[in-house]
Structure 1
Amino acid sequence: MANKNGHRRFGAIRKLPSGRYQARYPGPDGRMRKAPETFARKPEAERFLTLVEAQMLRHEWIDPDRGKVALQVYGERWIDERPNLRPRTVQLYRWTWNKHIVPFLGARMVNELDPAMIRTWRSDLLTDGVSIGGAAKAYRLLRAVLNTALDDELIRRNPCRIKGADQEKSAERPTLTLRQVFALVEKVPARYRALLLVAAFGSLRWGEVSALKRRDVNVITGTVRVREAYSEIRGRGLVLGPPKSRAGARVVALPAAILPVLREHVDTYVKPDADALVFTTGSGRPILRGNFNKLVRWHQTVASIGATGLHFHDLRHTGNVFAAKSGTSLRDLMTRMGHDSPRAAMIYQHATAEADTAIAAAINAELEKLVSGQTDDDGGAAGASAEVG
């Protein structure tokens, strides 16, 4: 705004030899700053200065020099400074950042990014053959980094505003019937049968089940306590750390029908000390995920029971389906699965022991029906053997 003498009260405008107009203004520190671009007309420069002055009066102004940091540098620092990330998560973040974000946007200054750039970046990812799921992971990571830039007052607004870009549309994973679970168990070496049963009926992740120790397994009460999980990190091998989420530390009740197999496994294959791993290779070493497939001939074995393409993680998915069919509440189900929720399911963890036991009992009732031949298990022949051991 200009005073009666024609001089502006805030900032200054001058006409350049090119005929365009340049706007300059003092920051709160008294140092003069230039507008990030020049203007074709003087009124445009005046509007810019009016906007900047209003932002300062509302304490919303952000020093444009603060955001002059390359996105690649800022993002790498962001990953380094994240607290309590599991090693595997850090590895995935770095891979996604360097593969899908840095090549496209890494050289841009953080304060240069705008919604149009983000839309073009995502479109280029999909055009280059990145899956919707992969693009969604990259978008969520970039948005998280820029949310921190917003908190650090490097930008005024997060440019990641594409509706639905953070959503993955993964294909529905397969599940097994009860009969298929036992058919699979009978086809693997005896040493690994209890592992499959605990993973399936306890809804455990690979890293959780492979890290169980003798002190975590109570074969009398039929519970397992998840305290830790293994991650396989390239260049470092197996790394023992906390479960995937806060709610991942939990106690899970197992169906009574599988306890005889678990007891026999512990008596036969597990060393007596409390810290001995429950599931190991024949040489007593921790089981690597890739090696397990070879030890049980996974692909051939799952194909032989009519479940071609089944992943080990689908056992957990199968167990979650069995638990959901028991009629338990969503909160109790999420606690059993070890998932965080918007209402912080971990708060209810200690209060759900009775409900979790009911889940195991409901699954066990179905198992007993199968063993006694009272159910045909989704169309299978009634009375077929379901023994494991």
Structure 2
Amino acid sequence: MAKYKKRKDGRYATSIYLNKKRFYVYGKTISELEKNKRQLLIDYELGLSLHSKDVLFKDYKYVWFDNKKPSISAKSIASYDSILKNHFTLIDYMKVTDIKKSHIQKVINELTDKPNTANKTYMTLNQILENAIDDEIINRNPCRRIVLPKVEKKEKRILSDEEFYLTEVAEFNDREKMFVIMSKYCGLRPEETRALTKDDFFLTQTSGYVRINKTVVYVSNQAIFQKFTKNNTSVRDIPLFANILPFVRYYLSSIQTNKLFTNLSSKEDKYMSSQSYKWLIKKIKDKIKLKALELNIDFNEQGFTPYTFRHTYATLLYYSGVRLKEAEYYMGHADSKMLTQVYIHLDKSSLRENSPLEDFIKNKLELNKKNITEKLLSNE
């Protein structure tokens, strides 16, 4: 007789794969479990629904999760896993068929002080119950018309002209400078920058571009390499501006590893750890602050993250006259919703300049330097 695991609730359990999907079978006794298993195989052959109407939510949510895992990133897997473990205790021991709108609202109400988590929990639950409809366990999704706590949208932080200048003159080491350059002048997401290798750069005597087609994310402080980006449109080739080409060439030739950002404490060609990345960002921020104090220039730390460089790049695209569709490609967005909001906001706040991107960057650097110099002289 096959060995079956006895659960905490006293039932026996096993699982079986059919058509590349995992199905769980339960029984109060081993005999009942064997019977239910045979019935599952019969139902499969007859093309009937393979899920019991008596399945508990805590069992079914992991059936759904197991089927979803192959199509999502490691970071998303960790996020879903946390939600499934921590936020469904109120309905875990209910049959899926017994879950009502009031039960779901109660789950969400317990998270009103954490609106982001509440919304993620709701979206996860909605997906699970939509799947239950497809599996013919329920006929209607009770998630509809649930009242969710409002999530306040944070205004996207960009570098001011003074801060832009500070990032040009701050005394970064080569590694820090390369990270800032790729974030500010190429608009890369942090996970894209962390994954860069020498093989991603295509340089000629007078121009070059960097290919973005992979990411490095952190799950439980471990660096996880992913052979894909945030979405299909995030795979892109980004031109390298003339003002950064000399340093990019120098940096690529100076490092011993193929990967651009590795752990400082090791000579191994491995992506940097979460701790090493946090230290890198801290050093970048500290050196900007130090230069700001030295030059008596304001530096607003609030909301400053690696994404500040990326958001600044979006404004550079706008002010240099890059069309929305083209900017969408450079930013690696699946749609233009976010960029449209940025462009509309900037349209309201100032007039648009119509110079090519390369010229605009050059002019901005020269103008910033001139303005800051005049400001410093006037303060003496």
**CA 105–242 in structure 1, closer or farther in 2 if over 3 Å, else same:** same
Pairing 1:287–2:272 present: yes
Report percent identity of matched pairs. Answer: 20
Structure 1 residue 163: Cα displacement: 6.2
| Mapping of residues 1-389 of structure 1, within 5 Å | 66-82=52-68, 83-100=70-87, 102-126=88-112, 129=113, 131-162=114-145, 165=148, 168-177=151-160, 179-184=162-167, 186-220=170-204, 221-234=207-220, 236-271=222-257, 276-282=258-264, 283-284=266-267, 285-295=270-280, 297-304=283-290, 305=292, 306-309=299-302, 310-341=304-335, 362-372=356-366, 374=367, 380-381=372-373
The separation in 2 between residues aligned to 1:175 and 1:235, in whole angstroms, is 27
The separation in 2 between residues aligned to 1:339 and 1:257, in whole angstroms, is 25
User: 4+ residue stretches of structure 1 with deviation over 6 A?
Assistant: none
Q: Residue 125 of structure 1: SS of its match in structure 2? A: coil
Q: Residue 277 of structure 1: SS of its match in structure 2? A: coil
Q: Which deviations, in whole Å up to 9, do the C-alpha atoms of 1:208-240 show, x marking residues without a partner?
A: 111111111123333111121112222754334
**CA 248–370 in structure 1, closer or farther in 2 if over 3 Å, else same:** closer
Please report the TM-score for the alignment, with normalisation by the length of structure 2.
0.68
How many correspondences in the alignment? 298
Structure 1 residue 79: Cα displacement: 1.6
CA contact (8 A) 2:75 2:219 kept: yes
Q: Residue 232 of structure 1: SS of its match in structure 2? A: strand
The separation in 2 between residues aligned to 1:265 and 1:177, in whole angstroms, is 27
**CA 337–315 in structure 1, closer or farther in 2 if over 3 Å, else same:** same
The residue that corresponds to 1:56 in the other structure is: none
Mean Cα deviation higher: 143-152 or 227-236: 227-236
**CA 320–290 in structure 1, closer or farther in 2 if over 3 Å, else same:** farther
The separation in 1 between residues aligned to 2:221 and 2:194, in whole angstroms, is 20
CA RMSD of aligned residues (A): 3.3
The separation in 2 between residues aligned to 1:115 and 1:123, in whole angstroms, is 12
Structure 1 residue 261: Cα displacement: 1.8
CA contact (8 A) 1:256 1:364 kept: yes
**CA 332–142 in structure 1, closer or farther in 2 if over 3 Å, else same:** farther
Q: Residue 239 of structure 1: SS of its match in structure 2? A: strand
The separation in 2 between residues aligned to 1:303 and 1:213, in whole angstroms, is 29
CA contact (8 A) 1:302 1:308 kept: no
Question: Quick one: which amino acid aligns to residue 173 of structure 1?
Answer: K
The separation in 2 between residues aligned to 1:302 and 1:103, in whole angstroms, is 46
Any stretches of 5+ residues in structure 2 without a counterpart? 1-47, 293-298, 338-354
Structure 1 residue 254: Cα displacement: 2.9
Q: Which deviations, in whole Å up to 9, do the C-alpha atoms of 1:19-69 show, x marking residues without a partner?
A: xxxxxxxxxxxxxxxxxxxxxxxxxxxxxxxxxxxxxxxxxxx99x84422
Q: Residue 308 of structure 1: SS of its match in structure 2? A: coil
Structure 1 residue 253: Cα displacement: 1.9
**CA 382–149 in structure 1, closer or farther in 2 if over 3 Å, else same:** farther
Q: Residue 297 of structure 1: SS of its match in structure 2? A: helix
Structure 1 residue 381: Cα displacement: 5.0
Bigger Rg over Cα: 1
Q: Which deviations, in whole Å up to 9, do the C-alpha atoms of 1:280-336 show, x marking residues without a partner?
A: 344444223432332452453454441314112222222223223344444333322
Q: Which deviations, in whole Å up to 9, do the C-alpha atoms of 1:83-112 show, x marking residues without a partner?
A: 321111101110122122x22222222111
Q: Which deviations, in whole Å up to 9, do the C-alpha atoms of 1:166-192 show, x marking residues without a partner?
A: 974332232113552452352322222
**CA 120–78 in structure 1, closer or farther in 2 if over 3 Å, else same:** same
CA contact (8 A) 1:207 1:229 kept: yes
